[in-house]
Amino acid sequence: MTRWLHSPPGSTRTTSTGSVAGLRLAAGRLRAAATTVAFVAGFLAAASTAAQTTAPATPASPKQAAPVAQGGEKAAPGRHSPYRPDRFAGRAGTYYRLVWGVDSLGVKWAESGEVIRFTYRVLDAAKAKALNDKKFEPSLIDPQAGVKLVVPSMENVGQLRQTAAPEEGKAYWIVFSNKGRLVKRGHHVNVVIGAFHADGLVVD
């Protein structure tokens, strides 16, 4: 008699088939997850590239808007002038021009601070004559440092100042010795030449 063998539920054959199906299902899910991750990564990379590309254009917008301001008031900060502002553009400037015939007064720290140079421009030669007069000894007073500087004399040269008759439209200078560099940049100083007084000049 021939016997037929039937595999009971849970046998090795049935389990193997189920395992293969499960592995296939898991592999499909992994592939789907990998595709999703790749899509998200690509989207983030594209967004980052777009942000980097458009970022430099952002700072340009304020510069474009500034010239549109009425009266040009907001456009002024963007402008750069090679000329320093006139510190005596107001009442003080008017006084020096009308009384002494000079403008563009300046004091500069020169030669590594060894000397201080006072400069001015002549507008009216007759009024500015006193500034070039040899009879008047120039001095530079620094209240902050508590010193009074004088014009040095050099052999075969004389005092380091211009004493020729002033001419309108020309700039002139006087050099003061700053031994010990006591007068420093930013100090407010007074220049005295006879009756001429220029107070509160800032050392550049």
Residue 192 confidence class, pLDDT cut points 50, 70, 90: very high
Domain boundaries, the chain: 12-61, 91-202
Q: Residue 145 region, left (φ>0) first, then alpha (ψ -120 to 50), else beta?
A: alpha
For residue 111, give the 3-state DSSP assignment: helix
Which token pair is 183?
A: 């007068």
Average pLDDT of 80-109?
A: 78
Which token pair is 61?
A: 């917008």
Please name the amino acid found at residue 37.
V
Number of H-type helices and E-type strands within the chain: 4, 9
pTM score, whole prediction:
0.57
- CA torsion sign for 129, 165, 170, 193 is negative
pLDDT of residue 89: 54
Average pLDDT of 1-6?
A: 48
Architecture of domain 91-202: Sandwich (2.60)
